[in-house]
Structure 1
Amino acid sequence: MSQPNAAPASAPPTPPSPPPPLEGGKLVLATIAVALATFMNVLDTSIANVAIPTISGNLGVSVDEGTWVITVFAAANAVSIPLTGWLTQRIGQVKLFVGAILAFVVASWLCGIAPTLPILLLARIFQGAVAGPLIPLSQAILLGSYPKEKSSTALALWAMTATVGPIAGPALGGWITDSYSWSWIFYINIPVGIFAAGVTWMIYRTRESPIRKLPIDVVGLALLITWVASLQVMLDKGKDLDWFSSPVIVILGVTALISFAFFLVWELTEENPIVDLRLFQQRNFLGGTIAISVAYGVFFGNLVLLPQWMQEYLNYRSVDAGLVTAPLGVFAVLLAPVMGRVLPRSDARVIATLAFVGFAIVFYMRSKYVIEIDTWHLVLPTLLQGIPMALFFVPLTSIILSGQPPNKIPAAAGLSNFARVFCGAVGTSIAGNEWNNRTVLHHARLTEQASINNPLFNQQMDATQTLLHLNPLSAHALFDFTVNTQAAMMGLNDIFFVSAIIFILIIPLIWITRPSKGGGGPDAAGAH
């Protein structure tokens, strides 16, 4: 008869209650520290873009080899992000976050002192790997620091720093490279990281998350590294090796496909997977993650192409090309805090839709660029793009994390950020390859009649020589330069136009999600 009384003893232990929200000056200081760690990480995804020619020259390698400085960071970062959920449960989110910041500082110092390209690449791999937990943990820590009703404000503050990083990167990197040395684009992380780690530990060391000793999924981790690395190298080197006419590219493609298939099967059947793919069973996580990943891939790919085009074909200095992209942050920063107030009273799906429509309008405006364009018409779409940027991260992040239990937020944030960062790297490679392909196509069309057997072409060359007082060789060189510039412009316009179409086509992904309770804030935000 006493058997029912024994039931409570066998019930699973109740998880400890999360610590209460922070208040006052402590909350402000904590937000600044966490935001700086996020900014430091995101900044390094783009700060080296405009410095690649200088780095390559100083280290005695080609520009193509120098681009691996960007590629290896992105690949290592993408692989390590999904480990956040597992590492958090093994180490604790506060210890992991602070440790990742300090490791990032050490990696930045190693990048700055690197005397050769191989050493720099190893340091960048280390830097990208330790940076993985920073973004998802910064989201989780901020959500746990604010009251549930202020979760949208927390996400808005996080989005402000995540948005400004890629925007400030090219401008800051160009200025530092031109004014000082490329090493300083890495050294600037040292004081920022030390401050962020010290303040974070001081405030959060008594707010550590519960720790569980879970076994590591070695097979899943190995498969993840294999397919991500194979696919990224294939995309980066495909153009140089003439794609699938090269046995190397074929091997990389087959390796990526097979390892990805095994990765899916293994992770869906493993008891403690390194990546919890079961999160995609939730409609909000599925739709929100795919939408934000594809959108970020298109956005970041264009963000890399624009300054590259300005430097190569408009003769802009690296710092000037970076400054043209800087106005993107004006509206993004000004409107981000407003989103924290508007989102709880709105449907996050409507706001995200407006963001995608805004992106489509901006890219359509850019598709009308001409080679004689002035700086103002370059800056205007960039300035306006800050509006959809402000409407982009917060509602989609809110949709993705909506309904997640407290212990799943780090894993969900980690997996969604992995997909976003990886799509950013893939989008950059695809955008660069497609720009090259469209440029070649337009060049062929523009030169169809450019033959010495065409009397009209010869007549035009004679007129050019007479008008500009050029010899035949100079006249043909001028013609070739003009055609190359025009073909590149037309190819870039094609990329911009297709980007606008993609943003419209992915809007339905937003609407397969369910509206979040409380107008868009995560139900489990902060886990209170």
Structure 2
Amino acid sequence: MLEQNSLVEYGARRVIITITAVFCALLEIIDTTIVNVALNDMKGSLGATLNEVSWVVTAYAIANVIIVPMTSWLSQQFGRTNYFAASVILFTVSSFLCGNSSTMSELIIFRFLQGLGGGALLVTSQTIITEIYPVEKRPMAQAIYTLGIIVGPTLGPPLGGYIIDHYSWPLIFYINIPVGIIATLLTLMYVKSPKYAEKRKASEVDWLGIGLLMATVGSLQYVLEKGQEEDWFSNTGIVVLTVTAILGGFFFIWRELVFKYPVVELRVLKNTNLRIGVILSFIMGFGLYGSTFVVPLYTQSILGWTAFQSGMLMVPSTLVVAFMMPIVGQMIQKGVSQKGLIALGLFIFFLYCFFTHGIMTPATGGDNFFWVLMLRGLGLGFLAVPVSVMSLSTLKGQQIGQGAAFSGMMRQLGGSFGVAMISTYISRQNMKHRSDLVSKLNIYDPNVQNRLQALKAGMIAKGKAPNIAEKTALQMIDGSISVQSTILSYMDVFIGIGIMFLITVPLVIIFVKRSKNKVSLADAGGH
């Protein structure tokens, strides 16, 4: 225990290390969403198609999910400080190269490298922050870390929108450089590395496990990112990669269970709290990224808002999460049941989805969203820290690093599943709702005829010829059907996410065990 306590920091050192780690995690998460609003500008300046430019997002996400499960093992191989500093340097240099790219191929390659550096920052930041706080203050440490995880996806779009409106897209990458340089220097000066077991010899390294892991999660992430665009299983590439992901996953699990020094220690999933925590991380990723994806889509496509306006709509909700984090951290430290807090958070998030479903109309304004988004912030506030603490609360020693890596990977995959499934669902439901609405639209119905005549008369009054006026009136009715069917699809999404959160409540109440020991999250990198 003495060795673990030697990593605990006090005073200014602890503040500096905390700020460094939080900023690194925040940079990584912001970079996941900030480019979304810049894709149009990149497309124009690099002469790319929409399909090509979307690889800027996909390459980053694939690199992320490949590296996250390997972070604990890589920390042991190279030492925590060295690995963290190298990840920050790779992220920073790649950011510069992304901003300097003159072709789409260059941008995609550098974005992949940026994702490899960035994915490592997430889990290692969580480990470092947890270690430098004494055991009794660790829930507060989790609150500080989780704040970055929740705030990041929300800050990306408004920050990106502001930069695109006032400057040009390379600045989205260049703003990482000063923070990266400072973070590297502070890491090398202040972050300590725990004592690890001896490094593995080359013959003991699980090369096959690493290859299978990369093939499995890389293929899975590609299928999730590109499935809808490529029309899912009617595309040969998607079929091949789906089979690769399934077979790769099967052989990866087999390899990790039989190899003496596995790159990912799957046996840690025998722990019930971690298993539940991993499922909850997936559901949280699904709900967080899914709702962050739908609300801007709705405000921009239906209400005609700019990226900056729709991004700013999410900020008050994020401030509520920021306000809640330390309060929830204190509650856990004082012995309030994590199980109860998680169940409450899930139920509040369900209410957010339920009320959002109720307010969606073509005329809904920003004011209508304010209070429901406050509920979202409240729900995430009650969820995020207790899930983090509960997942790792009954683990010991190096298991904790593996647990943190699993949670991180599942949150990322949950977000990817969420966005992929929601975008597919929206396009399918859109067609279904459209055909339902059109079938109810009888041209001989007096109400329909009156509406058509009124629109036609309006067009004629503006000087249009009668035949043009009639055609325009029919187009306007068709447009209003499209808007209605899209809104109905978004409403279905919110009800679906809400029900998923609601049915998770009894799962938490029945299966989560109360930790008898004080939550000790020391040395999550493992030793």
Please tell me the TM-score bracket, short chain as reference: over 0.9
**How far apart in 1 are the matches of 2:146 and 2:300?**
29
2 CA distance for matches of 1:20 and 1:428?
39
Taking the aligned partners of 2:341 and 2:270, their CA distance within structure 1 comes to 24
Contact residue 228 and residue 423 of structure 2 kept, 8 A: no
1:210 equivalent in structure 2: 196
**Contact 1:288/1:509, CA 8 A, preserved across alignment:** no
Distance in 2 (CA, whole Å) between partners of 1:68 and 1:17 is 42
Deviates more, 1:58-67 or 1:392-401: 58-67
Whether the 8 Å contact between 2:88 and 2:184 is mirrored in structure 1 is yes
Distance 1:211 1:112 in 2: 40
Does residue 256 of structure 1 match 2:256? no
C-alpha deviation, 1:15, in angstroms: 9.7
Q: Mark the runs of 5 or more structure 1 residues left unpaired by the alignment.
A: 1-13
Q: Is the 8 A contact 1:288 1:510 kept in 2?
A: no
* Counterpart for residue 271 of structure 2: 282
After superposing on structure 2, the runs of 4+ consecutive aligned residues of structure 1 that deviate more than 6 Å are 451-456
* Mapped partners of 2:477, 2:46: distance in 1: 35
Cα separation, 1, equivalents of 2:20 and 2:493: 38
Counterpart in 2 of 1:4?
none
Return the letter of the residue paired with 2:428. N
The equivalent of 2:520 in structure 1 is 523
2:438 corresponds to? 447
Task: Indicate whether 1:498 and 2:496 are aligned.
Answer: yes
What aligned pairs does 1:72-111 form with structure 2 within 5 A after superposition?
72-111=59-98
Give unmatched runs, 5+ long, in structure 2.
Answer: none
Q: 1:455 to 1:365 in 2, by over 3 A?
A: closer
- Is 1:324 aligned to 2:304, yes or no? no
Residue type at the aligned position of 1:353: A
1:524 deviates by 4.1
- The answer for the alignment partner of 1:7 in structure 2 is none
Give 1:80 deviation, angstroms: 0.4
Measured after TM superposition, the shift of residue 526 of structure 1 is 5.7
2:487 & 2:6 partners in 1: Cα distance? 55
Deviations 1:299-355 (A, max 9, x none): 212211221222122110111111111122111111211122111221111111111
Cα distance in structure 2, aligned partners of 1:37 and 1:524:
20
Letter in 1 for 2:321: A
Deviation at 1:238? 2.8
After superposition, what is the alpha-carbon deviation per residue over 1:327-385, rounded to whole angstroms, capped at 9, x for unaligned? 22111111211122111221111111111111111111111111110111123222331
1:364 corresponds in structure 2 to 354
Matched, 1:513 2:512: yes
Aligned AA for 1:365? Answer: F
Deviations 1:458-516 (A, max 9, x none): 56433320144361221122112111111111100000011100001122342312112
Could you say which residue in structure 1 is the equivalent of 2:27? 40
1-structure distance, mates of 2:516, 2:379: 23
Q: Counterpart of 2:114?
A: 127
Distance 1:32 1:213 in 2: 30
SS in 1 for 2:32: coil
SS of the counterpart of 1:373?
coil
- Aligned runs of 1:336-355 on 2, under 5 Å? 336-344=325-333, 345-355=335-345
Instruction: Give the Cα–Cα distance (whole angstroms) in 2 for the partners of residues 159 and 235 of structure 1.
Output: 25
Q: Say whether 1:141 aligns with 2:128.
A: yes
Report the AA paired with residue 99 of structure 1: A
CA deviations on 1:52-86 (whole Å, 9 max, x unpaired) are: 22222222223343222222211110110011111
Whichever residue aligns with residue 210 of structure 1, its letter is Y
Which sits farther off after the overlay, 45-54 or 280-289?
45-54
Of 468, 485, 497, the match for 2:483? 485
2:262 partner SS: coil
In the aligned structure 1, how far is the partner of 2:495 from the partner of 2:183?
Answer: 41
* Greater CA drift, 449-458 or 295-304: 449-458
Q: Is the 8 A contact 1:227 1:256 kept in 2?
A: yes
- The one-letter code matched in structure 2 to 1:349 is K
Contact between 1:301 and 1:432, CA under 8 Å: does it hold in 2?
A: no
Aligned to 1:303: 292
Q: CA deviation at 1:522?
A: 2.2
User: AA paired with 1:147?
Assistant: P
Q: Identify the residue that residue 394 of structure 1 maps to in structure 2.
A: 385
With 97-106 and 506-515 compared, the bigger mean Cα shift is at 506-515
State the TM-score, normalized to the length of structure 2: 0.92
* Change in CA separation of 1:233 and 1:453 when aligned onto 2, cut-off 3 Å: farther
| Bigger mean CA deviation after superposition, 481-490 or 43-52 | 43-52
Query: How far is the alpha carbon of 1:446 from its aligned partner?
Result: 1.0
Alignment counterpart, residue 335 of structure 1, candidates 300, 321, 324: 324
- Displacement after TM superposition at 1:208 (Å): 4.2
Structure 2 SS opposite 1:367: helix
The count of aligned residue pairs is 512
TM-score by length of 1: 0.92
What is the letter of the counterpart of residue 98 of structure 1? A
Q: Does the 8 A contact of 2:68 with 2:119 survive in 1?
A: yes
CA contact (8 A) 2:38 2:164 kept: yes
Q: CA deviation at 1:140?
A: 1.3
Q: Is the 8 A contact 2:99 2:174 kept in 1?
A: yes
The aligned counterpart of 1:474 is 472
Q: Do structure 1's residue 426 and structure 2's residue 438 form an aligned pair?
A: no
Q: What is the alpha-carbon distance in structure 2 between the residues aligned to residue 503 and residue 304 of structure 1?
A: 17
The amino acid that maps onto 1:359 is F
Alpha-carbon distance between aligned partners in 2 of 1:142 and 1:75, rounded to the nearest angstrom: 26
Cα distance in 2 between the residues matched to 1:116 and 1:326: 34
Alignment of 1:242-253 (within 5 A): 242-253=231-242
Change (3 A) 1:253 1:17: closer
Matched AA of 1:507? V
Q: Quick check: 2:138–2:521 contact (8 Å CA) kept in 1?
A: no
What's 1:182 paired with?
169
Q: Contact (CA 8 Å) 2:401, 2:523: kept in 1 or not?
A: no
Q: Distance between the aligned counterparts of 1:367 and 1:290, measured in 2?
A: 25
Residues 111 and 451 (structure 1 numbering): CA distance in 2 closer, same or farther, change over 3 Å? farther
CA distance in 2, matches of 1:385, 1:179: 30
Could you say if the C-alpha distance between residues 41 and 235 of structure 1 is closer, same or farther in structure 2, counting changes exceeding 3 Å? closer
Could you tell me how far apart the structure 2 residues matched to 1:163 and 1:260 are?
Answer: 29
Q: Deviations over 1:426-468 (max 9, x none)?
A: 2111111111111111111111255778887556433320144
Counterpart-to-counterpart distance in 2, 1:358 and 1:256: 35
Task: String of CA shifts for 1:254-295, please: whole Å, max 9, x gaps.
Answer: 222222222222222222222211111111110111112122
Partners of 1:420 and 1:526 in 2: how far apart? 21
Cα distance in 2 for residues equivalent to 1:127 and 1:68:
13
Q: Aligned equivalents of 2:520 and 2:301: distance in 1?
A: 48
**Alpha-carbon RMSD:** 2.2
Q: Equivalents in 2 of 1:52, 1:159: separation in Å? A: 28
Q: Given that residues 145 and 526 in structure 1 are in contact (C-alpha distance below 8 angstroms), is that contact kept between their aligned partners in structure 2?
A: no
